[in-house]
Structure 1
Amino acid sequence: MRVDIIKYLRTEVKRRCEMPDNFFGIGGFYHIEAVVKNSELLADKYKADKEVVMIAAWLHDIASVTDYSLYKLHHIYGAEMANEILQQLGYEMNKIKLVEQCIRNHRGSISNNRTTVEEICVADADAISHFDNVPSLLYLAYVKRNMEIDEGKVFVRSKLERSFIKLSSESKEYYMAKYEQVIRVLV
């Protein structure tokens, strides 16, 4: 595994997340870090190319933390940005294409045809990461969106329920206990 690239990406993503104009603030980094952690677990579970999965996880939201105006199509712009970054780092072109595919198809809110186990790992890790970062979702609801208490609770619970529904059936089974524990807190 190319630890040097993964280490560089962690540092670069954190730097971008710490920029004052990053809409998501440092919470964006915590989300991405959780995606990486979960993608590594899923890559082992599903016997995917762990390096590709982890690189795609570090870069899956690169466009939206770099420029919030790209958020609606961040999966498209992020794949393009990942291509540029990885080419500059001398990463293999066949693996860059797979990373791009993972980023393009990571969004659960967009119906994508995931054809590789690596894509499933990144998409599922993205969805389940919200369960590792409930405080960031609360921050988004109460600080960024200025919601009232009950409105924010419904927003966060709804986000988590939608995230769980987006998981592949195998990952739903794998993460069921985590889902039930977090949802119980938001009753």
Structure 2
Amino acid sequence: MSAILAVCGENFCAMASDGRMVEEPAKVDSPNILTEELPKLRKVNRNVCVGFAGDTLAAVRIVNALDEYDVQYLTFEKIVKILRDRAREVETLPLGIRFLVGGRGRKGGFQMATLGSDNNYEPEVRPAQPGAYLIEGASAHTEIGPMLEEYLQGGVENWRSLDDVAASMDACIQAIAQRDKTVNTKMYRQLIL
């Protein structure tokens, strides 16, 4: 029930999601579509974006925990901790949830965290490295590793601008949507510079 992609470089973090929400349990070939226009990402503040794939209702409840704080002052590290702690309190459907968090850390460098129900929301945090990109993605019903390799990792050498990154992310979501009817091609994007 959704696709989320994230790319972080040494000077930016970009996220993209589709907009489809389906009733669970979903039939991948013919899901009961609840809405076509639900972004699965949120720009928390000028430094951090959060995206998710999986149990949408539970994920929204978890992300909304951030609203208990003055979000403009939340750091990347604090956001990851809030999501981890709240997620461990929220019951999810068997398909689970995968969160991607990207942006600037306390020391100013870009980084990405992944956390999900498959490992009790224990975050894996990686800093961006000069000359390299952190690329992550998640989809609730489809293995997207080959599409990440083809459309994102395979396109890195052709990226000259953020528009090129966005075009690669869009192409990846379109490819996922062709294979998985729980994903649509309504694109939502967020960018942290």
The answer to whether TM tops 0.5 is no
Higher strand share: 2
What is the TM-score with the length of structure 1 in the denominator?
0.30
Point out which structure has higher relative CO (alpha carbons under 8 A, 6+ apart).
2
